[in-house]
Structure 1
């Protein structure tokens, strides 16, 4: 005997802020914000416990040089301002005359997880970027002192078009991965996977957009433009079977690109504050943990309200063997630890089964077992899910109801 379960919405739906949620986690997992690589930029200065206001390993791409003076935090944004230097800066054989900026994580502990950033590009040919990279090379797979470094570009763009080959960088999203390989002959090779693109008609400098990348494992990543449908990438693996096998640092950088692929910004736009500034609204990073893992909670900043808190029951059609134990698929979003209550009611609105459990902060996807005293009879039932503050049942409910129709076949 089987039971067909149909979950139908009968109450109010809570609208989610699509710009603030990572992708649906796998069953049994939940996303938890990784504070080490997250920032809302709501202060008056850059948090120097998390970020450098320069790049510790890179002066910049000539003729653009990274300067701390170009980075600021105010009015809810982190900004990087481009500008023309009053006089050239000469470092070795390189000459720099354009001021650029970089905000770079102090640590290189970024590992598998979801990384997203909301920003608006400057209206120049300087870049506005969001990417992960290693800051050293690792021993290669051959026995010849070969080595490799890693780079995962979630978004690189410019703010306007022009008469140059790379003008398409001004629109849409462009995600790339680089396997920087120094081979046995000590030749440096930039080995890439196929680029992931999201095409738009709007310039990246027209409005804020959200760019996300889910670094899934050593071999794959998924990318998201404004939290739409994912596009997949398989990393270049001809040299190393599982190439992205080391942690990286996080970077938000505005730089000059190689000419003539993209022309250098002109003096007029570099002097115009309406054009020469890129705006970063926030950067957010998440790690996947087990649904019932409470150890991550101590690291979560509960003052940041990431979610419109809610609990949702799956509306998928399901067939279950008649049993005293029903597996209930659900998802929830909680800014802090909550309690979820489940009740199964018969057609007379009598409670025939109920349970409750702690919903640890984050975005979770799970199957929860609802135990009955006896196998359910044929008929119509209502399954009710309520999210409540812990220890305050009945106060400040965050509730959503579903109708559960059971049909014995």
Structure 2
């Protein structure tokens, strides 16, 4: 039996039965007694194909009520999102020519991937991700669509590939971190409220694949897990109860700006400039 045949059988079995359980180390599974985890297929992907599954993911920055196409100086471009070697890949770089949009100037490029359908309270979200090695970000998070009184962002993981002397003091070390937010976003109706927590890592985010995860346990409790082990809990101050879409955004931050030497965004190898997702899996309790 050839390797290609074996891979096809594994993929077929996954299509029908899914993966047995989320990634938990022994004794770390928080599910209640008598319950079981069931995979949510429309929010899960092993990235076994040759292109992104557009029935599950949106790679165009604008559309489906989403209007954000990047934070200057990096513009999100769909062409930077690929599926190769069993992984979702988002590659950053410098634009051939600067782009001016809505009064903003973009000189570099990244990408964003959003789920077509949302997740909800009670679900467990996890991804196996290796960050890029540049000053740009690697992320895995949830966002609700616009509501003037309640626009909610849950950052399961937010990091950068490297920091420099230009990095804001509080962000030094964000290339070796598991960092999460629960943000009640600013709108015309409400002011921003942000709660966050983090743990430092011994190995930088860009040097290995980590499993980043969160259990949206209830409207008032979100538990966060790293490589199958519980790390911390965030308790939102308002009910966290709106459907939220998975986001994977590779962007620039003003607190970790691109330095004159490019911070590997311009000069790094393809692997150094690429954030890789081996899989995304979402589960619900039954």
Alignment TM-score, normalising by the size of structure 1: 0.59
| 2:205 alignment partner in structure 1 | 204
- CA shift at 1:62, angstroms? 1.2
- The answer to whether the Cα contact below 8 Å between 2:135 and 2:263 also exists between their aligned partners in 1 is no
Once the two structures are superposed, residues 175-229 of structure 1 have per-residue CA deviations (whole angstroms, 9 ceiling, x without a partner) of: 11001243xxx47622012x22121122100111010100011111100111123
In the alignment, structure 1 residue 38 sits paired with structure 2 residue 44:
yes
In the alignment, structure 1 residue 177 sits paired with structure 2 residue 179:
no
Q: Which has the higher strand share?
A: 1
| 1:248 alignment partner in structure 2 | 244
- The answer to whether the Cα contact below 8 Å between 2:21 and 2:37 also exists between their aligned partners in 1 is no
| 2:32 alignment partner in structure 1 | 26
With 49-58 and 207-216 compared, the bigger mean Cα shift is at 49-58
- The answer to whether the Cα contact below 8 Å between 2:22 and 2:37 also exists between their aligned partners in 1 is no
Q: Write the distance in 2 (CA, Å) between the matches of 1:268 and 1:199.
A: 22
Aligned partner of 2:262 among 267, 283, 300:
267
5 Å-filtered alignment, 1:142-291, equals 147-163=149-165, 164-165=167-168, 166-182=171-187, 186=188, 189-193=191-195, 195-235=196-236, 237=237, 240=238, 243-258=239-254, 261-264=255-258, 266-267=261-262, 269-271=264-266, 272=268, 273-289=270-286
- CA shift at 1:148, angstroms? 2.2
Please tell me whether Structure 1 or Structure 2 has the larger radius of gyration of its CA atoms.
1
Q: Write the distance in 2 (CA, Å) between the matches of 1:72 and 1:160.
A: 23
In the alignment, structure 1 residue 90 sits paired with structure 2 residue 87:
no
- CA shift at 1:54, angstroms? 2.8
In the alignment, structure 1 residue 81 sits paired with structure 2 residue 91:
yes
Q: Write the distance in 2 (CA, Å) between the matches of 1:252 and 1:35.
A: 18
Aligned pair count reads 254
Q: Write the distance in 2 (CA, Å) between the matches of 1:63 and 1:180.
A: 22
5 Å-filtered alignment, 1:226-375, equals 226-235=227-236, 237=237, 240=238, 243-258=239-254, 261-264=255-258, 266-267=261-262, 269-271=264-266, 272=268, 273-289=270-286
Alignment TM-score, normalising by the size of structure 2: 0.83
- CA shift at 1:124, angstroms? 0.4
Q: Secondary structure at the match of 2:60?
A: coil
Label 1:55 to 1:109 Cα distance change in 2 as closer, same or farther (>3 A). Answer: farther
Q: Write the distance in 1 (CA, Å) between the matches of 2:54 and 2:175.
A: 31
Q: What is the alpha-carbon root mean square deviation over aligned residues?
A: 2.0
Q: Write the distance in 2 (CA, Å) between the matches of 1:96 and 1:157.
A: 21
Once the two structures are superposed, residues 144-187 of structure 1 have per-residue CA deviations (whole angstroms, 9 ceiling, x without a partner) of: xxx220000000011112111222211120011001243xxx47
Q: Write the distance in 2 (CA, Å) between the matches of 1:227 and 1:29.
A: 18
- The answer to whether the Cα contact below 8 Å between 2:43 and 2:119 also exists between their aligned partners in 1 is no
Following TM superposition, the consecutive aligned residue runs of length 4 or more in structure 1 with deviations greater than 6 angstroms are: none
By relative contact order (CA 8 Å, sep 6+), the higher-ranking structure is 2
Q: Secondary structure at the match of 1:36?
A: helix
| 1:112 alignment partner in structure 2 | 122
Q: Write the distance in 1 (CA, Å) between the matches of 2:177 and 2:277.
A: 17
Structure 1, unpaired ranges of 5+: 1-16, 139-146, 290-409
- The answer to whether the Cα contact below 8 Å between 1:198 and 1:225 also exists between their aligned partners in 2 is no
Q: Write the distance in 2 (CA, Å) between the matches of 1:19 and 1:248.
A: 20
In the alignment, structure 1 residue 122 sits paired with structure 2 residue 132:
yes
